[in-house]
Structure 1
Amino acid sequence: MTMAFLDSAQAQASPSVVATAAALDRELAQASPAEIVATALRITGREKLAVVSSFGTESAALLKVVADVDPAVPVIFLDTGWLFQETLDYRDTLTRQLGLRDVRTIKPRDEDLMRLDAERGLWFSDADACCRIRKVEPLTRALEPFTGWFNGRKRFQGGDRADIPVVEADGTRLKFNPLANVTAADIKALYDAANIPPHPLLASGFTSIGCMPCTTRTKPGEDPRAGRWRDRGKTECGIHTASVS
């Protein structure tokens, strides 16, 4: 795969994957997160299933659920080159505490960065292009061996996430949203019960954490994701708004 990916139309979900996703979504509409994870494992097998995690402020919830079912499920972590050191440290902390056995850190290709963002200013002039180079394209490559993947989006986060299904078609893959139905109180209870440490930056006012240039603190009463791409009319990096097949 070349960087022509950035300019090409995204692959369309195959009819068979769409049908399978719809059937599973109906079946799992009221299932618990653990039941959703177990069903995904039964359908795809561990070797064809991955968790995509940012190791952000709420990431440990999904990682804990998956680890309790099977701690050897591969975890894909995108190191964009712009992450806070605290996030990298948190990845290591959670990996140890949750007993995750297969965390794979992936990065954008050096040759692509040199050609398209040599001066590291693309985030300022074209945030969408920066996300494509540093997140969408690396994830596309990383997911090539898999037929299904988990992510941690939740309906209570609002915006484009308010109506996410439990299972959806993503190109040639099944995309599972095990936490779609949980509440913020459920997340807190899970953290408390498992004695999971918070992300180090949460106490400093960062309620949703991505890359350093595009993450700011949120103010009291703001949406938790208000600090992401503030004032840019952008709410998603592109991973969840386009097929990554």
Structure 2
Amino acid sequence: MATELSEALVSRLGDEAAIAGIADRFWALNPQRLLRIAIEDLFPGKLALVSSFGADSAVLLHMIAEIDRSLPVLFLDTGVLFPETLAYRDKLIERLGLTHVVTLVPDEATLESEDPETFLWSSHPDRCCEIRKVIPLARALDGFDAWISGRKRFQASTRAALPLFETEDNRTKINPLANWSPTQILNYLRAHDLPRHELVAKGYPSIGCIPCTSKVRPGEDPRAGRWRGRAKVECGLHTQSLPRVAEFGAEAASFQSPLNRAQ
């Protein structure tokens, strides 16, 4: 079945209607099986996992490690992350034996020009996210045909209809855990004795940058603590089509894609 589905999906990449139809057949597969097909059959050598090393990240990272520990894992270090997140990243890399984690950082010249005091998040949060997250990831994904996201439907009302596959700029985005529940996440973490992010126990079920992350109250969506008090609910990675490197001009000229780096 894997070969049949893989060839069908590959032959229709970029056609959202066709991918949506095929996705209906993939829903029957567990995430591990879907990931193996994506890694080995659909996008060999052209697939990356984008991980925040946040609250639930250990689940997908463990699944990936069970299949291919050398799969590129892209991590966005915005420069304003919690120290606990950086420590968690290092802990999971060692625990899971991940060999190709690439840390992406914002362009220094742009930060010096637009956010020298690290306060852009307060006045222009969308631009802050663009500089620190959207642009670095868009550059890093150049050369990849697909990437894996850890988003889940239960995280927020804005994600309630999250599909299994999405397309953007002729690139496919895969959401293997889209339909998983909080109970399934917790059960997987326990079954594999995976460590949790330290901030989860302190009331942070969704963890981003320090200035834009607050504790979540009982009954709120897991992402209610992100950009609290603002209309903003997403950083931009999933609400706009990530452009190609050429669109960033000089800001991206010196960037080297993870595909071209030594393993």
Residue in structure 2 matched with residue 215 of structure 1 by the alignment: 213
Residue in structure 2 matched with residue 177 of structure 1 by the alignment: 175
Q: By how many angstroms is 1:227 displaced?
A: 0.6
Deviations 1:212-231 (A, max 9, x none): 00001112222211110001
Paired with 2:111 and 2:21, the residues of 1 have a C-alpha distance of 41
Is 1:126 paired with 2:158? no
SS in 2 for 1:220: coil
* Equivalent residue for 2:60, pick from 62, 72, 85: 62
Residue in structure 2 matched with residue 143 of structure 1 by the alignment: 141
Flag as ranges the 4+ runs of structure 1 deviating above 6 A: none
SS in 1 for 2:144: coil
Is 1:164 paired with 2:162? yes
Residue in structure 2 matched with residue 39 of structure 1 by the alignment: 37
Is 1:17 paired with 2:14? yes
Is 1:106 paired with 2:104? yes
Q: By how many angstroms is 1:210 displaced?
A: 0.2
* Number of aligned residues: 230
Query: Structure 1: which 5+ residue stretches go unaligned?
Result: 1-14
Paired with 1:137 and 1:21, the residues of 2 have a C-alpha distance of 26
Is 1:236 paired with 2:234? yes
User: Could you tell me the TM-score, scaled by structure 2's length?
Assistant: 0.84
Deviations 1:124-177 (A, max 9, x none): 001111001100000000100211000101112232211111111121211000
Report if the CA contact (8 A) 1:165-1:177 is conserved.
Answer: yes
Paired with 1:31 and 1:156, the residues of 2 have a C-alpha distance of 19
The change in CA–CA distance for 1:16 and 1:195 in structure 2 (over 3 A counts) is: closer
Paired with 1:25 and 1:65, the residues of 2 have a C-alpha distance of 20
Residue in structure 2 matched with residue 6 of structure 1 by the alignment: none
Is 1:192 paired with 2:154? no
Residue in structure 1 matched with residue 246 of structure 2 by the alignment: none
Report if the CA contact (8 A) 1:149-1:176 is conserved.
Answer: yes
Query: Structure 2: which 5+ residue stretches go unaligned?
Result: 1-11, 244-263
Paired with 2:19 and 2:133, the residues of 1 have a C-alpha distance of 24
Paired with 2:133 and 2:42, the residues of 1 have a C-alpha distance of 27
The change in CA–CA distance for 1:107 and 1:57 in structure 2 (over 3 A counts) is: same
- More contact order relative to length (CA 8 Å, sep ≥ 6): 1
User: Could you tell me the TM-score, scaled by structure 1's length?
Assistant: 0.90
SS in 1 for 2:228: coil
Paired with 2:15 and 2:107, the residues of 1 have a C-alpha distance of 31
Residue in structure 2 matched with residue 29 of structure 1 by the alignment: 27
* Equivalent residue for 2:46, pick from 48, 70, 92: 48
Report if the CA contact (8 A) 1:208-1:225 is conserved.
Answer: yes
Q: By how many angstroms is 1:16 displaced?
A: 4.5
SS in 1 for 2:92: helix
CA RMSD of aligned residues (A): 1.3
SS in 1 for 2:14: helix
Report if the CA contact (8 A) 2:168-2:242 is conserved.
Answer: yes
Report if the CA contact (8 A) 2:14-2:170 is conserved.
Answer: yes
SS in 2 for 1:105: strand
Identity across aligned pairs (percent)?
Answer: 47
Residue in structure 1 matched with residue 84 of structure 2 by the alignment: 86
Q: By how many angstroms is 1:23 displaced?
A: 4.5
Paired with 1:148 and 1:66, the residues of 2 have a C-alpha distance of 15
Report if the CA contact (8 A) 1:18-1:168 is conserved.
Answer: no
What amino acid does structure 2 have at the position aligned with 1:43? L
The change in CA–CA distance for 1:68 and 1:24 in structure 2 (over 3 A counts) is: farther
